[in-house]
Amino acid sequence: MKRNLLAVSVAVGVLVLAGCDKEKQPELTTPIQQASYGIGLNMGQSLLQDGLDDIDPQALALGLQDALGKQEQRVGDEELTNAFNALQQRAQERAEALANEALDANKQYLEEHAAKDGVTTTASGLQYEVVTSGDEDAAQPQADDVVVVHYEGRLVDGTVFDSSLERGEPAELPVAGVIPGWVEVLQLMHVGDKWTVTVPAELAYGPRSPSPVIPPNSILVFDMELVSIKSQEE
């Protein structure tokens, strides 16, 4: 069978996952080999993200070989449609099960966290701890303000997904243009306050995730410092 280099590289890269001998692995030294490996890597990461961790790597490699080598497909369109429908149904069931597990875990986490000393829980379920208080007479943001905030956001397992501290520069944000948990907490803070804020999933991104780093239904924890409120002129 005649194949181009890209087909060979991607197919071999996938077959390696199935346990090919080390001597058969490509060296990944040329740009086309490295790009081919990147394609396979991205494909595998996407499959894992979709919960398809039991895809058959050898069958996947065979499909790549046939497609890139312009060979006749080995499975009929009707069979493929049925197979994809079954796969989609299974992925949906898995996603729903994981979402329910996350919600149950979230409830337990928030209940336990709320019981800790120094944690205040608002009517919405938002939780915050005062780390450092600014002047009690300092200004508080309104919904139509733009604020300057230094922050670091992480998951409950400690994974950092965003940090103005790492970037070395605070962020300028419209109060009304952020997640609901931030909209609420920013209007409670005074300039100079430093709080640790725990945002329930429904006040963050809920079942939809803006990034692979943030799983659906994630509780988000932020270390926040309200640096200033921008004037209307600014």
- Of the residues 37, 128, 151, 214, only one is catalytic, namely 151
Q: Which residue has the tokens 């086309």?
A: 32
* C-alpha distance from residue 131 to each of 171, 194, 204 (Å): 20, 5, 22
162 is catalytic: yes
- Of the residues 205, 214, 219, 229, only one is catalytic, namely 205
Q: Are strands 171-174 and 160-163 parallel, antiparallel or unpaired?
A: unpaired
103-132 b/e (C-beta count within 10 Å ≥ 16 → b): eeebeeebeebeeeeeeebeeebbbbbeee
- DSSP track, 32-101: HHHHHHHHHHHHHHHHHHTT-TT--HHHHHHHHHHHHTTPPPSS-HHHHHHHHHHHHHHHHHHHHHHHHH
CA distance linking residue 83 with residue 170, whole number of Å: 49
84 is catalytic: no
Catalytic residue numbers, as ranges: 151, 161-162, 179, 205, 222
